[in-house]
Amino acid sequence: MNDDLDMQRRFGAKMKVSRPPDADRQLFFILGSVRGQLAGTISGLDGKVVLQGPNWVLAEMGFSSAMALRRIPGVRLAGGVSMDSARAEQIRKVLELNRG
């Protein structure tokens, strides 16, 4: 970090180094106690619903947003999930078949 300041002074440049806003986005399993309210809450925190059940959601969102969900009444669980895309697609197909 100190090297960045030296570079700025030496060349008279203004530098800002930061991660892209979605660099910490990942999958989270969120379980709620109230049916149907999770999707709106997640999108309000800049999350994207990937799969949804009656009182659960698999969502892509930033880590800090997922941790903020833990403080919202009605959210019983918000935890990270590791899943490859092929497995996610299989789950999506099974859920579609179950919906009829």
Interval 77-83 mean pLDDT: 89
User: What is the pLDDT confidence band of residue 1, given thresholds at 50, 70 and 90?
Assistant: very low
Residue 47: what pLDDT? 92
The CATH number, out of the four listed (3.40.50.620, 3.40.600.10, 3.40.50.1110, 3.30.70.80), of the domain defined by the range 25-99: 3.30.70.80
39 closest CA partner among 51, 25, 24 = 51
Q: What is the pLDDT of residues 8-65, one digit of tens each?
A: 777 776 666 655 555 678 899 999 987 678 888 899 998 999 888 888 999 999 999 9
Long-range contacts of range 88-96, CB-CB < 8 Å, 24 or more positions apart?
88/50, 88/51, 88/58, 91/51, 92/51, 95/51, 95/53
